[in-house]
A and B are shown apart, each in its own frame.
Chain A
Amino acid sequence: MQVTETLAEGLKREIKVVVPAQEMEQKLNERLADAKNKVRLNGFRPGKVPMSHLKKMYGKSFMADLVNEIIRDKPGAILTERGERSATQPEIKMTEDEAEANEILDAKKDFEFSLAYEVIPAIELKGDSKLTVTREVVDIPDEEVEEQVLRIAENAKTYETKKGKAADGDRVTIDYLGKIDGEPFDGGKDDDAELVIGSKRFIPGFEEQLVGVKAGDEKTITVSFPDDYPAANLAGKEATFDIKVKDVAAAAELTIDDELAKKLGLESADKLREVVRGQIESQYGQMTRQKVKRQILDQLDELYQFDTPETLVDAEFNNIWTQITRDLEQSGKSFEDEDTTEEAAREEYRKLAERRVRLGLVLSEIGEKAGVKVADEEMQRALYEQVRQFPGQERQIMEYFQKTPGAAASLRAPIFEEKVIDHLLSEADVTDKTVSKEELMAEDEDETGSKAEASEKKPAKKKAAKKDETVAADEGEKKPAKKKAAKKDDAEEA
């Protein structure tokens, strides 16, 4: 077998492979000899079929098998031998002329085919250049915690029955029967309904007319349904409600004490504050992490500059582009509305695609070198999370993930990427900086502006990136790229 390189331009490679006819024939004969004792042909005892007859019967199909096998196995072997990695499946070209193909199958002609592919550039990890990361930590002021606690308390408000008239903010318990033109209508009746006056849960005008009622009162009020009321048969109609007031209760004063905490299932008020603080912290923590992550990615982006395989960039770009155009179509906008031309947008997204691919390659390389692995239980957890998003069809989702190998890969990618980031973070120089909440948010916005010329386009990008995650499933190699890209955009958005 002869392997000759016919093209090596940038990352593009073309390789011509020639398998001489004799070699093909020899391999064919080996196979025939192997099959000899197995075939049963009429008129012959097993194992007694003459070779020539066997060849006439099975030669062609064996040869076709052989050709397929060569095409399946050789490209990988050749690439390994050359120490290159292909960005995508190598494109294989062979003769399309039927007569020529027949001659090849008859082992009368050398079998030739060519491989065209793009190599993934060898990435040299720059281990010595340390990443520097500023981690912004928010010191959560007590007031914010207190505010949040108050909000929680609000929801858990208790009411005490009071004598006298109902006022704004009080809770009334009523039976009501609604009528239009003297006829009761569907959904216009309820017993023991609890309504907080001023909560605006009922149609406008309803609650206001209840101010001043007392327990035991009976009253008929007239309200008109708003024109945009969801139920078409009621919208805009005037209705009367016969109301029987059963109870009037005033809200208890809001106090944050152990009792409130107990009602919420916690031991004490201090504990409640602690929990709330934890929640807020984790919220900011996520934001911090995203910022840190973007710093890392930006630095990697600067650190690693190399040519990216065209085909990967094209694929990524097409993903983004179809998403963008669809979004635009749906919102009925054109590029002009977005203050840009199609060419300018194309160029911009092209750059974005290139960056994503490049960072993806870098991340996967780093991860591989560092031995980052995704454990089974982590996969399981991700799977369950995914399943939970589709209540009612858990079974199908589970099956889908079990049957489609690409789907599992799409789950694995984000986890892998997160772990690589963790790994990088553990090696980086991290300086903690305490900032206020406003600073954390504000700075982000600045960067969003500078990063992408048109910030209003971001949502589209993000969606495109999200979509990638699923699309990426079938190409294991570039997976981390896309996933990562998605995250990055998230960060930019935040």
Chain B
Amino acid sequence: MTDLRHYDVIVSPAITEKATMASDNNQVVFNVAKKATKPEIKAAIEALFGVKVKAVNTLLRKGKVKRFRGIKGRQSDVKKAIVTLAEGQTLDVSTGL
């Protein structure tokens, strides 16, 4: 039984053009919880997908302020993790968990 907390760390895989390109470099992109740290992400990926992670890079995309009919709103911030897998490891995010 894997630790349930791992599921709180990983939100979803990011399926975009850029993520597809990253897969050429043996990297996988995930949306992760804003509070998640790199070690937590590494532990979660290794536990959930059973792969070896070489490195984790994260970025925090700040939400923009948007106005709709004069009312201000703010998009939520998104943290992404670009996970580099160890040599020879593969991970197909599209099959889901």
Contact = CB atoms under 8 A, between A and B. Distances in A.
A50 B20 contact: yes
A45 B16 CA distance: 9
A323 to B, nearest CB: 60
B2 interface: no
Interface string B53-92: 0000000000000000000000000000000000000000
Interface in A209-263: none
Contacts, number: 16
A44 B94 CA distance: 16
A53 interface: yes
A352 B19 CA distance: 74
B43 interface: no
Interface string A38-59: 0000111100101011001000
Nearest to B95: A56
Interface in B13-72: 14-17, 19-20
A239 B94 CA distance: 98
A108 B2 CA distance: 34
A48 B94 contact: no
Nearest to B23: A50
B14 A43 contact: yes
A460 B66 CA distance: 79
A59 to B, nearest CB: 12
A56 B16 contact: no
Per DSSP, are chain B's interface residues mostly helix, strand or loop, or mixed? helix
A183 to B, nearest CB: 81
A53 B17 CA distance: 10
A45 B17 contact: yes
Nearest to A41: B15
A15 B37 CA distance: 64
A50 to B, nearest CB: 5
A43 B16 contact: yes
Contacts of A48: 17
A53 B15 CA distance: 9
B94 A56 contact: yes
Contacts of B16: 42-44
Contacts of B19: 43
Instruction: Give the interface centre of B14, B16, B17 by most chain A CB atoms within 10 Å.
Output: B17
Contacts of B94: 52-53, 56
Contacts of B17: 43-45, 48
A48 B19 CA distance: 12
Nearest to B15: A43
Contacts of A42: 16
Interface in A305-360: none
A42 B14 CA distance: 11
Contacts of A56: 94
A53 B23 CA distance: 13
Nearest to A56: B94
Contacts of A50: 20
A42 B15 CA distance: 9
A45 B18 CA distance: 11
Nearest to A43: B16
A45 B21 CA distance: 13
A44 B19 CA distance: 10
A56 B13 CA distance: 15
A50 B18 CA distance: 11
A53 B94 CA distance: 8
Nearest to A52: B94
A240 to B, nearest CB: 89
Interface in A274-309: none
Interface string A45-79: 10010101100100000000000000000000000
Nearest to B14: A43
Contacts of A44: 16-17
A53 B20 CA distance: 9
Contacts of A43: 14-17, 19
A106 to B, nearest CB: 14
Nearest to A48: B17
12 contacts: A43-B14, A43-B16, A43-B17, A43-B19, A44-B16, A44-B17, A48-B17, A50-B20, A52-B94, A53-B15, A53-B20, A53-B94
Interface of B: 14-17, 19-20, 94
Interface of A: 42-45, 48, 50, 52-53, 56
Nearest first, the 4 closest Cβ-Cβ pairs linking A and B are A43-B16, A44-B17, A50-B20, A48-B17
Given A43-B17, A43-B19, A53-B20, 10 more contacts: A42-B16, A43-B14, A43-B15, A43-B16, A44-B16, A45-B17, A48-B17, A50-B20, A52-B94, A56-B94
